[in-house]
Amino acid sequence: MTTLQDCLALDAQDPLRELRRLFTLPQGVIYLDGNSLGPLPAAAPARIAQAVTQEWGQGLIRSWNSAGWYELPRRLGDRIAALIGAGADEVVATDSTSINLYKVLSAGLEIAARDAPHRSKLVSERSNFPTDLYIAQSLCKQRGYQLHLVDSDRIEAALTDETAVLMLTHVNYRTGAMHDMADLTAKAHAAGVLAVWDLAHSAGAVPVDLHGADADFAVGCGYKYLNGGPGAPAFVWVHPRHTGRFCQPLAGWWSHEAPFEFTPDYRPAPGIARYLCGTQPILSMTALECGLDTFAAAQPLGGMATLRRKSLALSDLFIALMQERCAGNGFGLATPREHERRGSQVCLTRKQGAYAIVQALIARGVIGDFRAGDGAKHEDILRFGFTPLYTSFADVWNAVEQLRQVLESGEWQRPEFDRKHAVT
Amino acid sequence: MTTLQDCLALDAQDPLRELRRLFTLPQGVIYLDGNSLGPLPAAAPARIAQAVTQEWGQGLIRSWNSAGWYELPRRLGDRIAALIGAGADEVVATDSTSINLYKVLSAGLEIAARDAPHRSKLVSERSNFPTDLYIAQSLCKQRGYQLHLVDSDRIEAALTDETAVLMLTHVNYRTGAMHDMADLTAKAHAAGVLAVWDLAHSAGAVPVDLHGADADFAVGCGYKYLNGGPGAPAFVWVHPRHTGRFCQPLAGWWSHEAPFEFTPDYRPAPGIARYLCGTQPILSMTALECGLDTFAAAQPLGGMATLRRKSLALSDLFIALMQERCAGNGFGLATPREHERRGSQVCLTRKQGAYAIVQALIARGVIGDFRAGDGAKHEDILRFGFTPLYTSFADVWNAVEQLRQVLESGEWQRPEFDRKHAVT
């Protein structure tokens, strides 16, 4: 049996243990929901206050130049690029994941229409995050493509000469299952299919190597593992072989070659800047930079490789402790046990009571979240994110102990934990 | 001749004079660029700090419910609606002006394609803000429409049975000239043409009555006259007769009828919420709410009607003082003298030296901005916004006096004021 002492010993040996001080976490909270909203970087309040009172308040309009506001999407894009195996000048931080997906899917379909006009399908996974599917539905309808949704074990079979684009989320939001990006991209390319990857649950969570995988397009989220704050701007990457070939449809002035010439004719910017659209929310962008700073601090300690090692150790520990201390309570494991197929979260399944158990845990200060069962399997999900920048091994032990007590006491069956509409 | 004493007397009688304390303006600055970026509301630093440290830091993911984050686009939309003659549940604050324009233009073209498939043109003004034209170019290319750009005196003539949609910016960004929204919308409708209005330089600047004008669609900006902070979210309005008729193309999960059911099939929200897309930048949204609060404070004093009265008095004064004190310096007036055709800014023209003069003024603490001449007229623009919430009549007098000194001294010809790339 693993003891709290064992976990404290792991913490004492953890090369990342000092990084927890980079975050401000509430007293008495074990936060296992950084996969949904990363916590507050300790440096963010002062930095944001500076942006508000000095840059906005004192600098006013001059801060577009003097405070570097205008460069933020590219500057932050370069910093994100370093976390996902992309090159400099290949990523911009901007807009939302949904909007960026619209841009790259549109581009992918346009490339396909030119290079392979007989291909009529956009393939994705039925269990993909819904906004990806909605955006794909909208574009397919608009452009005369068919959205073909398959189960995860049927993806390869769907890479036929009818398929134009494969759109996948690298790590599944409900189960934490991770695709082999390099393998699926290679299989897509072998079949003449473009590969679009959503890194919402990957960027800052697992090592990603877009160039190594030879991916075509990618988008991702700023407010989950990147700790960019609520609704932080998202990001978009385009392989340089595609960037200059066409314009994305949201061709606003920030995507223009010379926006401040104010010419009536559109001339797309030469590089990734053509994936920008309009003016960006600078205060939220400033918070995202603070989130990225927390990854910069991990760089001298080995960066994403060290983070990944600890992430797997944390999720391994959680799985082991659940078996040791909470067995026989009707939980299943939705997340793959194999490391190479696991993201940075662990998802438990339960036929009943999942919502109430999550609520009872939150009441005890252990914050995970709930996802309703999908159509196929009538099992709801209890979702726990393990974020090595600020989560300790002792946190994992204590979280499982709280869960054990919630189950043993039966307190999760209290009326106040009844399932209601969950907004997370 | 008007004296500073006269202006101080006007300030003493100004019913809005106390509202200036709602803003934090830098010492020694006369800020005449609120048409580009509104200044910092005095309440914003504390409110944003609360959102950062309490809502994000302490509330974490729970704040989507407990702090009302999820409702912000609709809640702020309702507050903006009250400033533009729209009803409750008809406006959402979201995304950027460019992106919102893409949504409504797409909707307009879709309506036209159903109701009037023989109409093939989207008409706009050649001098419209470029991002509007770029977005329109992109959509026209995509949907097989022709973008037909005309001069402002040829708009009515372009309302033919070939035209599907008329897209105009209510107040011109370069000249401050204002269209008669009700008149042009009526003429458009009489010709079977839908009317899309960009309120970027109108919302919070001049009275707008979207229902009174019977407009079809509108978008606008949060960071100019609404004082929402750099890159604040924009807004979008759709006339209820159109809202339920179709889906906009950026159909992300926030536009879904039940986003937290996470269903793979898209079902659009019944009302204006279908014009949302993805997760919004909450910190920037919070700043926008502080900007809107400054308008709430003007409500008991007569709201937009009182603001308009003072705005015209300020711009009248500026025009008069320019004639009295700066005549013979080669300035023209791009802004109409007629009140009903003037927005809330005054634009001077000059064949040469406009950039340097603006820079010399900024160096003296009088912040306006520069816009290069367009193709037709080779006259550059010096742009001054007059925002009645925080600009005094004495400010106007002092600004003109500084300009007089800049001209008299010849200091604007110093090398450091040479024209460079302007980012505003």
Q: What is the pLDDT of residues B63-82, one digit of tens each?
A: 999 999 999 999 999 999 99
Our answer to whether residue B383 is catalytic in this structure is yes
Model confidence band, residue A40 (pLDDT cutoffs 50, 70, 90) = very high
Q: What is the pLDDT of residues A152-177, one digit of tens each?
A: 999 999 999 999 999 999 999 999 99
**pLDDT tops 70 at residue B423:** no
Residue B155 · residue B118 · CB < 8 Å: no
Give, as one character, the DSSP assignment of residue B79: H
pLDDT mean over B92-103: 98
- pLDDT tens by residue, A353-367: 999 999 999 999 999
Q: Does A113 touch chain B (CB under 8 A)?
A: no
pLDDT single digits (tens) B364-389:
999 999 998 865 667 899 999 999 99
| Cα–Cα distance, A335 to A348 (Å, whole number) | 7
Residues of A (159-218) whose Cβ lies below 8 Å from B:
174
**pLDDT on residue B338:** 98
Measuring CA to CA, which residue among B173, B204, B178 is closest to residue B93? B204
Asked if residue A137 has pLDDT above 80, the reply is yes
Percent of chain B scoring above 90 in pLDDT: 94
B208-240 confidence digits (pLDDT tens): 999 999 999 999 999 999 999 999 999 999 999
Which pLDDT tens digit goes with each residue over B307-329? 999 999 999 999 999 999 999 99
Give yes or no for residue A322 having a pLDDT over 60: yes
Interface test with A, best of B24, B36, B60, B175 (most A CBs within 10 A): B60
Q: Residue B40 is nearest to which of A52, A256, A280, comparing CB atoms?
A: A52
What's the distance, CA A91 to chain centroid?
A: 15
Report the pLDDT value the prediction gives residue B207, as an integer from 0 to 100. Answer: 98
Query: What is the average per-residue pLDDT within B22-45?
Result: 98
* Cβ count within 10 A of residue A244: 13
Using an 8 Å CB-CB cutoff, list chain A residues near B105.
none
Range list of H helices, A214-353? 240-243, 282-298, 303-326
Angstroms from A1 CA to nearest CA on chain B? 33
Is the pLDDT confidence value at A285 over 90?
yes
Confidence of residue B131 (pLDDT cuts 50, 70, 90): very high
Cα A303 from Cα B155, distance rounded (Å): 59
For chain A, positions 296-355, list CB contacts with chain B under 8 A.
none
Residues of A in contact with B40 (CB under 8 A): 52-53, 56-57
| Closest Cβ–Cβ partner in A233, A247, A285 for B138 | A247
Strand partners for B219: B198, B236
Q: What is the mean pLDDT of chain A?
A: 96
Rg of chain B over CA atoms, in angstroms? 22
Catalytic residue among B129, B173, B355, B384: B129
Question: How many C-beta neighbours within 10 Å does residue B260 have?
Answer: 16
In the predicted model, what is the mean pLDDT of residues B38-59? 98
Residue-level pLDDT at A376: 61
Give the pLDDT of residue A378: 74
The three-class DSSP label of residue B424 is coil
For the segment B191-200, the average pLDDT, to the nearest whole number, is 98
Q: Would you state the pLDDT for residue B179? A: 98
> Does the pLDDT value for residue B59 go beyond 60?
yes
CB contact under 8 A, B138 and A44: no
Q: Residue A375 pLDDT more than 60?
A: no
Q: Do A40 and B61 touch (CB under 8 A)?
A: no
A84 neighbors A237 (Cβ within 8 angstroms): yes
Percent of chain A with pLDDT over 90: 94
> At B254, phi and psi to the nearest 5?
-70, -10
Q: Do A61 and B278 touch (CB under 8 A)?
A: no
Indicate if the pLDDT at residue B356 is higher than 70: yes
pLDDT higher than 90, residue B85: yes
Q: Do A96 and B278 touch (CB under 8 A)?
A: yes
In this prediction, residues B120-132 reach a mean pLDDT of: 97
Interatomic CA distance for residues B390 and B386, integer angstroms: 9
Q: Pick from B248, B156, B231, B229: which is nearest to B195 by CA? A: B156
Considering just the CA atoms, what is the radius of gyration of chain A in Å?
Answer: 22
The per-residue pLDDT for A77 is: 98
Of A134, A135, A109, A131, residue with least CA distance to A122: A109
Instruction: List CB contacts (< 8 A) between B57 and chain A.
Output: 24, 26, 39-40, 45
> What is residue B377's predicted lDDT score, i.e. its pLDDT?
65
Q: State residue B269's pLDDT score.
A: 96
Active site residue B224: yes
For residues B318 and B326, the answer to whether their CB atoms sit within 8 Å is no
**pLDDT above 70: residue A231:** yes
Give the mutation candidate from A257, A283, A384 for the B interface (greatest B CB count, under 10 A).
A283
Yes or no: say if A350 and A406 are a contact pair by the CB < 8 Å rule. Answer: no
pLDDT surpasses 50 at B424: no
**Nearest by CB: A45 against B53, B250, B282:** B53
Yes or no, beta carbons of B421 and A142 under 8 Å apart: no
Mean pLDDT of A90-111: 97
Can you give the pLDDT at residue A377?
65
For residue A237, the SS3 value is strand
Residue A201 CB: number of other CB atoms within 10 A?
27
pLDDT in tens, B390-403: 999 999 999 999 99
Q: What is the predicted pLDDT for the residue at A420?
A: 62
Mean pLDDT of B121-148: 97
pLDDT at A203: 98
**What residue ranges in B298-361 does DSSP mark as E strands?**
332-333, 345-350
Rounded mean pLDDT of chain B?
96
Scanning A224-263 for CB atoms below 8 A from B yields 229-234, 247, 249-256, 259-263
pLDDT the model gives residue A194: 98
